[in-house]
Every structure is written in C-alpha cells, then in structure tokens.
Structure 1
Amino acid sequence: MELLFLGTGAGVPAKLRNVTSIALKLLEERGAVWLFDCGEATQHQILHTSLKPRRIEKIFITHLHGDHIYGLPGLLGSRSFQGGESELTVYGPKGIKEYIEVSLSVSRTHLQYPLEVKEIGEGAIFEDDGFIVEAMALDHALPTFGYRVVEKDKPGVLQVDRLRENGVPPGPLYKKLKAGETVTLEDGMEIDGMEFLGPSIPGRVVTILGDTRVCSAAVELGKDADVLVHEATFNRDQVEMAREYFHSTTKQAGETALQAGAKRLFLTHISSRYAKESWGELEKEAREVFPETYMANDFMEYIIPVKK
C-alpha cells in the first residue's frame, strides 16, 4: 500500500504543483490503483511515474470543482487507448454522472471497457473481502466528501514449526490451514488451521479529505488513521480568509490530525501564493501542533508500513 501524490496544488496549475490528484497504489493487495480526484493534466503527471492507467480500478471524486475533475474525461478516454479493458468505477457527489456522460458524448469518446459511475451519499460506499471505503460530507462551498479507506485485518502467520511437530508435512494442506480451514490427515487426524495461526495482522487506515473548513467529519474520518491527507490552502495567520473561502490553514490541519489521533499527516492543496522557499515554514506551522506532519509535493511517494 503506497501513496503517490500526482498533484498537490490549489485552484490552478502552477510550475511546481499541479492541481489535485492522489493515487493509492494497491498493487500487492489487489493488483490495482485507486485514484482520488483527477484535476487538469493528471494523465500528464502520470506519464512521469511508473503508474499504468489500465491499473486504475476506482476513482473517488471529492467534489465537482474544476481543479478536482477537469482531468477526468481525458484520463477515461486515454485508458482505452492504453490497453485498459477491465471495469472502472467512479464514485462522487451528485452531478458526477452527468459531467462524465456529457463530456464523453459531446467529444464522441467511446470507451473500450465497462464504466460504472456511482453518485454517493454518506456511509460505506464500497466493501469487499479486503477493504471498506467510507464517505462523509465535509464543509466546503459545494457538496464535498472525504474518504476513509480501511484495510481489513489479515490472518496471522501460519506456525509452520508447530505443524511439523504435529506431523503435518509441508504441501498443499498448508494453504488450506493458512485460510483457517480444518484438514484431515491420512491417519484420520483432524487439524484446525485456526489453532496454528499467529495473531491477526491489523489492517491499515488511509484518510483522504477533500477541500474543507474545520469540521467534526474530518476528525471522524481521520480517527486513528495511519495516514491523514488534509488540505492546507492557507498559512496559520489567514484564518478568516480560510473560512471565507471554505478552506483550512496549516495549523487547523495539524489540529484535526491531533484530535483524530492520526499517526501521520500530509499537507496538500497548497496555494500558489506560497513560493517554494516558504514551504518549510508552512510545514513547521502544522508541526508545532502535530509533529508527524509532512508537506506533500508532486510525485512524492510514501509506503504505508504493515502493522505488526
């Protein structure tokens, strides 16, 4: 599980920061990539990485402001030309379905893969054997969601030494035992796989917020998260401006991470008014509240460690 920041700027593209898009790479977990927002030129940003558009399985849109969706029609079309054949699902607020359908229809873009668009509300919007994705409404100028990705706990490590001591030879039976099944040996002895598994491995939690003012939903989504990605459009002194434009400051992002009990905070959606020389100071402002804060930059990658 790995985060790849494709765009970390706010509002309009800048020389050093493109507009918002974040990839959650789940290549080991499910051989796929999930994309969060798709601002203008996201597919150009992808060209500078090892990410393959055909691997993108799901796209989660936080809200319908242009800096979060203007790259979506182009990426959907390019995925066809680049060998994408597997189904792709787009999740987002009401209006995302019309936006995609009109964009593809007017441009006469024909996709070579199944596309499903789901307009969401609050609550669990996706669940399978490995993951749950939950959404909650944030406080922005138009309907906006934050997403909480929860990896389900995994079975513990199979205790091979104990199995050998009990006369279970290595082989196909180990796979069944690893799955917690009960197997019968040639001598009739039954072995319960659950009795030979170590402690379960806790799943990881990744929270990616859309644009927002300070709100309780952001804290709830980020509760005990291994990683919290929070916008920080303004510096700590511009509280009133942040409120007026429905955004957050660096300090407010740090306070949200602290209240949520998150383990690590990444600041993103940085206004172009802040030159590169000031990025360290922005990071410092949040770190004074929440020490495990890191300023996200375009193409930054972070591997989310497995819990022990």
Structure 2
Amino acid sequence: MELEFLGTGAGSPARYRNVTSIALKLLDERNAVWLFDVGEGTQQQILRTTIRPRKVEKIFITHLHGDHIFGLPGFLSSRSFQGGKQPLTIYGPKGIRDYVQTSLRVSDSRLTYPIKYVEVSDNGQVFEDDTFRVECRKLDHRIASFGYRVIEKNHTGELLVAKLQAAGVQPGPEYGLIKAGKAVTLANGQVLPSGDFIGPAQKGRIVTILGDTRRTANSYTLAANADVLVHESTFGQPDGRMAYNYYHSTSAQAAEVAKKAHVKQLLLTHISARYVGKAAHQLQTEARQIFPNTRVMKDFDQVEVPLAKHQPITK
C-alpha cells in the first residue's frame, strides 16, 4: 500500500504544484489503484509516474470544486484510449454523475467501459468487500465536502511451517488447507486444527483522506487511530482568520486533529500558491510543534504505508 501525490496545490495550477489528486496504490493488495480527487492536469501528472490508467478501479471525489474535478473528463477518456476496459466506480457528492455525463455528452466522448456512480449525501459506509471497507463523513466547507476513511481488513496470520513439520506434515496440499482455515486429518487419523498452525493475525491499515474543510468533529472521527492522515493545509497559522473565512484549515489545525486522533503520520497537502520555498517549510514547522511526525507533501512524493506486524488486534 502506497500513496503517491499527483497534485498538492490549491485553487489553480502553480509552477511547482499541480492541483489536487492523490493515488492510493493497492497493487499488492488487489492489483489496483484508487484516485482521490482528479484536479486539472491529473492525466499529465500520471504520465510522469508508473501508474497505468487501466489499473484505476475507483475514484473518490471529496467535493465538486473545480480544482478537485476538472481533470476527471480527460482522465476518463484517456483511460479508454490506453486500454481500459474494466468497469470503474466513481464516488462523490450529489452532482458528480451529472458533471461527468454532461462533460462526456457535450464532448461526444465514448468510453470503452461502464461507469458506476455512487453519490454520497450523508455519513456512512460507501464500499466493502473481502479486503477493504470505505467510510465517508461530511466535513465543513462552503459546498458539500467529504472525507474518506479506507480500512483494510485484518490479514490472516503466517503459516507456522516449522510447527507443521514438527507434527510430521511436509509441504503439500495440507499447507493450503491449513492456511484456508480448514482442519487436516493425517494418515494416522490425527486431526490438526488450523488455528494451531497459524500465527497471530496482522492488523489492517487505515488511511484517511479529507477534503477541504474547517476543523470539525467528523475530522477526528475519520482520522481516529489512522496509520496515515492526509489533511489539507491551505493556510499557515498567521492566516487562521482567512482559513476560517474560506472554509479551510491551517497546518496547526491539521496537526491538532492528528494529535487528538492518535494517528501515526500526518501528510499535509492542498497548499496555497502563496506558500513557496521557506514559506511552505514554515507550514511544516508549525505543524511539527504540535505533531512531530508531519510532512508537507510535494508533487510526486510517495509514501509507503507498511503493515504493523505482530500488532495486537483489540476486539
């Protein structure tokens, strides 16, 4: 599991930061990529990475401001041109379906794959399968804006090969049965319960990605105990009044959310173009005074989200 930042700017493209888009690369987990927001020029940014558009199976839109969606029609069309045939699901606030369908219709664009739309309007679960669950909650922005909490389900523990061999079981089909949670009966009639030969389960990871927002209670709920929190940092602490007036957050406010929610790492993005060079570094300094494990992200930064092995799973 890895995050790659395709755009880290706010409002409009700047010299050193494109507008917002984040890729959550789940290549080992499900051979897929999920995008969070698709700002203008996202498909150009993707050309500078190893991401293949056909691998993108889900797109989560936080809100319908242009710097988060203006790249969507172009990306969808390019996915067709580049061999994308698998279905794609787009999640986002009410209006995302109309925006995409109108853009494709007016431009006479025809896709080689179907799109499923899931329009969200309230707090709740938007997706679940055998490996992941995704929840969303409303944030506090000038228009409807949501944060997403990606929860990986726990991994089955490692097969205790040495213990199996000590019990007289050599590599073969029995190992697969044990790993699948099934008991194995040996030739002498002895029954080996699978649970005796599988190590502790590994706790799944949690990644929280918030849309544009003032500080709000739902930010803490979405971020609780996350391995990574991606939070907007449009303004610095001296511009706190401006942040409030424009329904955004400061770097210090993001750090307070990370600290109180007990996250492991805070990644700041959606940086206003006024913060360049030392000014951008100052955003990081302000946040680290509250939550030390903080980074201000740049375009094309990649952050691995490792499994915490042997972490106990609490019921």
TM normalised by structure 1 equals 0.99
Determine the C-alpha separation between the residues in 2 that align with 1:181 and 1:35. Answer: 37
Aligned to 2:206: 205
- Shift of residue 183, structure 1, vs aligned partner: 2.3
Determine the C-alpha separation between the residues in 2 that align with 1:181 and 1:57. Answer: 32
Aligned to 2:254: 253
Contact 1:63-1:92 at 8 Å conserved across structures: yes
Q: Give the SS at the match of 1:89.
A: strand
Contact 1:140-1:212 at 8 Å conserved across structures: yes
Correspondence 1:224 to 2:225: yes
2:173 aligned partner, one-letter code = P
1:245 aligned partner, one-letter code = Y
Most deviating of 109-118 and 69-78: 109-118
Aligned to 2:66: 66
- Shift of residue 189, structure 1, vs aligned partner: 2.6
Aligned to 1:81: 81
**Per-residue displacement from partner, 1:54-111 (whole Å, max 9, x unpaired)?**
0001000000000000000100111010001111100000000110111111111111
Aligned to 2:281: 280
2:9 aligned partner, one-letter code = G
Determine the C-alpha separation between the residues in 2 that align with 1:57 and 1:183. Answer: 38
Determine the C-alpha separation between the residues in 1 that align with 2:190 and 2:77. Answer: 57
Determine the C-alpha separation between the residues in 2 that align with 1:249 and 1:259. Answer: 16
Q: Give the SS at the match of 1:228.
A: strand
Q: How does 1:109-148 map to 2 (within 5 A)?
A: 109-120=109-120, 121-148=122-149
- Shift of residue 255, structure 1, vs aligned partner: 0.5
Determine the C-alpha separation between the residues in 2 that align with 1:29 and 1:91. Answer: 20
Stretches of structure 2 that go unaligned for 5 or more consecutive residues are 310-315
2:181 aligned partner, one-letter code = G
**Per-residue displacement from partner, 1:137-169 (whole Å, max 9, x unpaired)?**
000000010000000111111101111111111
Stretches of structure 1 that go unaligned for 5 or more consecutive residues are none
Most deviating of 158-167 and 26-35: 158-167
Aligned length: 308
Determine the C-alpha separation between the residues in 1 that align with 2:180 and 2:163. Answer: 16
Contact 1:155-1:179 at 8 Å conserved across structures: no
Determine the C-alpha separation between the residues in 2 that align with 1:52 and 1:158. Answer: 33
- Shift of residue 193, structure 1, vs aligned partner: 1.2
Query: Percent of counterpart pairs with the same letter?
Result: 56
Q: Give the SS at the match of 1:230.
A: strand
TM normalised by structure 2 equals 0.96
**Per-residue displacement from partner, 1:20-56 (whole Å, max 9, x unpaired)?**
0000000000000000000000000000000000000
Aligned to 1:11: 11
